[in-house]
Amino acid sequence: MNCTCSKNNTEFYKDFELKNFNTLKISSKADLAFFVKDEAQLCSVFRMYKNAKTLGWGSNTLLSSKGVREPVIITRKMSEISQRCEIMEIEAGASAPKVALEAYNNSLSGFEFLIGIPSTLGGAVAMNAGAHEQTISDKLISVRVYDIKEDKIITLSKDELNFSYRNSLIKQNTDRYALISAKFQLEKRGKEEIKKRMDENTEFRKRVQPSLVMPNLGSVFKNPTLPDGQKLSAGMLVDKCGLKGFHVGNAGVWERHGNFVINYLNCTSSEYLQVLYKMYTSVKEKFNIELECEIMRIGEFSAQEDEIWRVIKKS
């Protein structure tokens, strides 16, 4: 059902199917879904529903097959990009590949890795997304966020955001901060050099990672660092456990890379989580290494799903 919110003309839907709003293509219904176009609408929805959840492309978020009782705010229509000299200011819902192309068109370097990341800028900042020795926090100056608790828009500097590997203050506090926009200081470079780097990244992704024709949420576990500082690949560890191709129902570890779990056909969140649990326990048993899941989740989960989540998120 399509209706318009009387308060500020924000587009919203009841019983909204989110299957096309998460890259895993999980079927999950939101009781209420809002499509915000600007910060006024974003703040206004949060004023009505402090428990609302934001969703960009849903490329790192597991949605529950039982659905989402909290209102969902979809940010992808809030996507303005402005640029002055080497500074770009980008709204949360802008698509990461579009941001990479915009930077390239303006001969600005720093966003080449975003070309293949199926995410919004907001999701990339929250996750501190990275690839090929670049991360989103490298060039970040500050962000504007809506402080849900205090009901005000504030600016947070890069230092205040506590960025670390696939982590940030925003990811840790999604019930407190909703990203509005982020400001970056990029570097002037030749277009050919930028294009070459983007092409290499695209080629790597095509060769090593599944395309979204194989619905997935990107890497599911962080790469662990051992106490002696040695860095290992989670995919390699899962691979050595012989789990490539391991399935629970319609969810399974990709046959070509051990850190991607694919929805082969209408899988449920429970099947997906059971695959993650098997990966986690197998690596723990074989190598005595506790992997840490890097994805987030939204929705109403069963007791069994909660229990798995508690295990794979602790570290």
85 binds ligand EPU (CB under 6 A): no
Pair 219, 23: CB distance under 8 Å: no
DSSP 8-state assignment for residue 164? B
In the block, tokens 């099947």 appear at 271
**Going by DSSP bridges, is the β-strand pair 130-131/108-109 parallel, antiparallel, or unpaired?**
unpaired
Q: Which stretch binds ligand EPU (CB under 6 A): 24-32, 176-184, 232-240, 284-292?
A: 232-240
Q: Residue 137 CB, nearest distance to ligand EPU (Å)?
A: 14
The amino acid that residue 115 corresponds to is I
23 binds ligand EPU (CB under 6 A): no
Which one of 27, 142, 162, 233 is in contact with ligand EPU (CB under 6 A)? 233
Is residue 294 part of the annotated active site? The answer reads yes
Q: Using N-to-C axis directions, what is the helix angle for 191-208 and 96-105, rounded to 10°? A: 150
Q: Which stretch binds ligand EPU (CB under 6 A): 9-17, 28-36, 230-238, 304-312?
A: 230-238
236 binds ligand EPU (CB under 6 A): yes
Q: Residue 90 CB, nearest distance to ligand EPU (Å)?
A: 20
Is residue 200 part of the annotated active site? The answer reads no
258 binds ligand EPU (CB under 6 A): yes
Q: Which residues contact 85 (CB under 8 A, 6 or more apart)?
A: none
* H or E element in which residue 247 lies: strand 247-248
Q: Residue 91 CB, nearest distance to ligand EPU (Å)?
A: 22
Q: In 3-state terms, what secondary structure has residue 307? A: helix
Q: Residue 31 CB, nearest distance to ligand EPU (Å)?
A: 29
DSSP 8-state assignment for residue 161? G
How many angstroms separate the CA atoms of 163 and 125, rounded?
A: 9
The residues that touch ligand EPU, with contacts defined as CB under 6 A, are 131-132, 208-209, 218-219, 222-223, 233-236, 239, 257-259
Catalytic residues: 166, 219, 294
